[in-house]
Structure 1
Amino acid sequence: MPATVAEREETHSDRSLVKSTGVQLGIVVSGMFSGGLAAISYYAPGLEWLAHGFLIWIVLGVTTTAGHTLRTAVRRASTALLSGVLVFYLGKQWVHVLQYAGAEYSVDPVRMTAWLAVAVLAGITCGTVFRHIGREGWSAAIATTTAIGLLSGDAARELYPTLSADPVFLVCTMLVVLVILLLAVVSKRQFGRIVLMALPCAGFGLALLLAAELLERLTW
């Protein structure tokens, strides 16, 4: 017997709910994976840059928001970053206990709370800005170059003052920049806009990085 209109609509609604739930779960898992990776890298020789830099979080912010509406992008970015920061701090404690048997270590609740608040603000910012990546126009160019600027600031910090950095870090940074450009460059005109905005947004990215470092010191 053919399904009625009401039954078809109910089935479609159920499928949409399942899909939406699956996407949200995927966002949370992505954030948790990123936070766990950063926590492990914090104590791994040669991989400290993953824990102290923006690379993981930029990838998370861009992949969860690009091309979405403002509301969806903000919700996704905030969820991913909150779960990432939470797992990072709890994971650091777990890794520390495993690596240094018998050593006492506990999460500073004030510090973690401060960074959870930053995660919310960063989620709102990422959702508002990075959602434009992949579109045509100046807003998309600013979004693209802001993401690349943050990565450039990361690279500048690693290179200063010795002008040398971990080759793996540099390769990973360049690959992420390339992926962002592949997502963002939808036309020759858009590529021109991105080139024009590259320098000022690189300076902005470096300023944000310095502000994050200052907050890290204040909450230490």
Structure 2
Amino acid sequence: MNHLFFDTETNGLPADYQAPIEAVDNWPRVLQLAWTLTDSEGKPIESVSLLINPAGAFPLDPFAARVHGLTDERLVHGVSIAFALNQFMVAVMRANVLVAHNFDFDCRVMAAEFYRTASFMNSLASNGVLRLTSLPSICTMQESTEFCAIPSPYRQDEYKWPKLAELHQILFDEPIAGAHDAGHDVAAMMRCFWALKERGIVGVPSHA
């Protein structure tokens, strides 16, 4: 059973987290996409990290840029979103389970990108996006909420969803090296996933 771990860095956040993926103006653009496909024992099959060149299609959000450090100067050397989507979908077609930290966000952001591009008309991509939204999935954020037990600042007697950096710190007592780089975040998420699995915390995959 192959696991596909993936992460995105985006140009901001959605105005409405519950909006349908077809409402593409609501969803931020992907600036970096990374994934690692592993076998059931965690042995990597492939690891990819891609910067996306927006090619002037949209301006960069200054706040988001301060978080992940992605600038026009760096992104100009990136690939097209169509190329990235097609490469990603090849990996999705080989996966049995999808894994992400805040899966709903990353899945919807990626699906929205397909609706924006002509690549969605490509048979591989169209089949892939259907698989992306229907494959069994695991969200390390939701699965680890009770384990991390971080009090919610908004609701008494409830826990907040842990950030990946918080989960990593709790599990390993060390920060993520290169946090907010999608490639480094995927590596950290994988490390967290297998540690959670060893502890019996990661449950049965749910459908997206």
TM-score, normalising length: structure 2? 0.31
Work out which of the two has the higher radius of gyration on C-alpha atoms and give 1 or 2: 1
Greater helix fraction, Structure 1 or Structure 2:
1
Larger relative contact order, structure 1 or 2 (CA cutoff 8 Å, min sep 6): 2
TM-score, normalized by length of structure 1? 0.29
